[in-house]
Amino acid sequence: MKLVILDRDGVINLDSDQYIKSPEEWKPIPGSLEAIARLNQWGYRVVVATNQSGVGRGLFEMDTLNAIHDKMMKAVAQVGGRIDAIFFCPHTDADNCDCRKPKAGLFREIAARYSADLAGVPAIGDSLRDLVAARAVGAQPILVLTGKGAKTQKDPQLPADIPVYPDLAAAVAKLVI
């Protein structure tokens, strides 16, 4: 089974420092939905692993998060793609949970759900926390420059061996050659 793990905000959709708090605020990054469809066409299962501390902060409820994800799933389906599963952490840093990236709990949950070894599995994110979580389980972290990616690329803690692409579409083009 071919698997790819994507962060949500800043990779699939435009990010906001004020959080994506409603379906109306969720807007895809140009080319990202088609990139997911292309992954599907090449036999990949696409899974999203996303921190959603807006729930824990009381900025929106679980039903709103579900509505945002429903909009995303329908938008991907409209271009012929699908997201197989969404794994999310609703906690804040103060909760000190194991699922909030940069901890690897979401990735371990994905591995368990799919009975998969994540060694070498592409994990595409726009922040250092995405990349750290991926590396902790042996996945292949990939940085995109959308969202917080351009800032992340300048972070002195970014390992030099992390592949960097302008956006999800460019990263996917490299994966499916």
Sheet holding 164-165, edge to edge: 85-89, 44-51, 2-6, 122-125, 140-144, 164-165
Separation CA 148–CA 112 (nearest Å): 29
- Catalytic residue from among 7, 15, 130, 167: 7
Q: Which of 9, 126, 130, 167 is catalytic?
A: 9
What pTM, to 2 d.p., does this model score?
0.97
Reply yes or no on whether 98 is catalytic. no
Q: Would you mind telling me the total number of residues written for the chain in this entry?
A: 177
Has 167 been annotated as catalytic?
no
Along the 177 residues of the chain, how does pLDDT read in single tens digits? 899 999 999 999 999 999 999 999 999 999 999 999 999 999 999 999 999 999 999 999 999 999 999 999 999 999 999 999 999 999 999 999 999 999 999 999 999 999 999 999 999 999 999 999 999 999 999 999 999 999 999 999 999 999 999 999 999 999 987
Per the CB < 8 A criterion, the answer to whether 124 and 107 are in contact is no
Q: What ranges in 17-161 are assigned the alpha helix state H?
A: 32-41, 53-56, 62-78, 105-113, 128-136, 149-153
Q: What's residue 177's pLDDT?
A: 75
CA distance 162 to 141: 6
Kindly provide the b/e burial profile for residues 150-174, where b requires at least 16 CB atoms within 10 angstroms of the residue's own CB: eebeeeeebeeebeebebbbbbbee
CATH at residue 63: 3.40.50.1000
Amino acid 88 reads: F
User: Exposed (0-12), middle (13-18) or buried (19+): which is 177, by Cβ within 10 Å?
Assistant: exposed
Range of the domain at 74: 2-175
pLDDT attached to residue 26? 98
Domain count, the chain: 1
